[in-house]
Amino acid sequence: MQALRRWEEAGGTWQVAARTSGSVTVALLRCDGGEEVDRLSSHDPQAVQALAGRTGSEEGPLVS
């Protein structure tokens, strides 16, 4: 999820908005953790695995 990494690098925060066994949807939030700006969804197994067990950016940045 390169777009999510870029969002983090720009100072934005995020939260997992929905999750199934084969997909994940992430809400992109302003840098102050406030208003939702956009959402990203992915069915990519690597993205689903990278976000497994995570609820949001408050748990630390994504590992490359």
Residue range of the domain that includes 16: 2-56
In the chain, the number of structural domains is 1
7 within a domain of the structure (yes/no)? yes
9 within a domain of the structure (yes/no)? yes
Q: Residue 64 above 60 pLDDT?
A: no
Average of pLDDT values for 42-48? 95
61 within a domain of the structure (yes/no)? no
Q: Residue 27 above 90 pLDDT?
A: yes
In angstroms, rounded to a whole number, what is the distance separating the alpha carbons of residues 20 and 7?
Answer: 23
DSSP at 56? B
Looking at the chain, the whole-number percentage of residues with pLDDT higher than 90 is 80
Other Cβ atoms closer than 10 A to 51: 20
| pLDDT at residue 36, as a whole number | 96
Residues in the chain: 64
47 within a domain of the structure (yes/no)? yes
Structure-token match 């999750």, residue found: 19
46 within a domain of the structure (yes/no)? yes
64 within a domain of the structure (yes/no)? no
In angstroms, rounded to a whole number, what is the distance separating the alpha carbons of residues 12 and 20?
Answer: 24
